Amino acid sequence: SADVGTRLIGFFAITYLARVFGPENMGILAIGMAILTYASIISTLGLPALGVRYASEKKCSTSLLVKRISLARLFLSVISFFVVVGVLLIWIKEQNIRNISVFYLFSLFPSALMLEWLFQGMSKMKTLAIGRILGMSVYLLIIIGVVSYSQNIYWVPIAWSFGLLFQAIFLWNRYNYYYKPNNNNKQSSSLFEIIKQAIPFGISGFISHSVNQFPIIYLGFVSTPESTGIFSVAFRLVIFLLVLDRVF
């Protein structure tokens, strides 16, 4: 239900943006989001999947696990941000694409604080669903409330970051409600040991995201933003329809 809700809200958002911006600006946004997806591979490195496994096994302190995973993701997010910004400054000459991409990259930091993996591991699916729908709703409301002209394009990545931040705040609030600090002796792996263990998950994530996002990146280099925008909107429609498969 959360997947249906978030994809439906995302579909409304992309439809509204397509009507306001047209193909060229939609292509710029699509390239920025694709670059963010690749940056997210570095910043997550499979840590959420590893966190789900640890949380479900309940072999270590929840508070210590949350601290280690969150710190590891923040550490990797800082590295990812500066590495990708450096690449953008060197390779991307189009100012709008470069600026939009940098604005999208700021969302790495609220994403690093996301506790979805914990609630998934603890089977708190209702909390997880509410958080996702609230985050996407904030994103959609900001877009509808602020974006009305093509000059407002920079508000789209800002709205995306605020949606993720709102979701992260909600999940941390629920975490403080469900899980009280404890002084048990269970230990989790060290910060760098957790990162090392997550690398295989990160490699698999890189492969899957490469398949999905590479066409948009490639079109951004060999074609025009208009073509990229048309492809992106059509691709988002297909992704929305695939929610029927995700239900199962």
Where would I find the beta strands (DSSP E) of 129-213? Answer: none
Tokens 């923040």 appear where?
A: 74
Element (H, E) at 178: helix 155-178
pLDDT by residue, tens only, the chain of 248 residues: 777 788 888 888 988 998 898 888 888 898 898 889 889 888 888 888 888 888 887 767 788 888 888 999 999 999 999 999 999 998 888 888 899 999 999 999 999 999 999 988 888 888 888 999 999 999 999 999 999 888 889 999 999 999 999 999 999 999 988 776 554 445 556 667 777 777 777 777 777 767 777 788 788 778 777 888 888 878 877 877 776 666 65
Say how far apart CA 217 and CA 72 lie, in whole Å. 28
Instruction: Determine if the pTM surpasses 0.85.
Output: no
pLDDT at 137: 93
Give the sign of the dihedral formed by CA 224, CA 230, CA 234, CA 239.
positive
Rounded Cα gap, residues 43 and 72, in angstroms: 9
Contact criterion met (CB below 8 Å) for 75 and 247: no
Contact 128, 120 (CB under 8 A): yes
Q: What is the pLDDT of residue 247?
A: 61
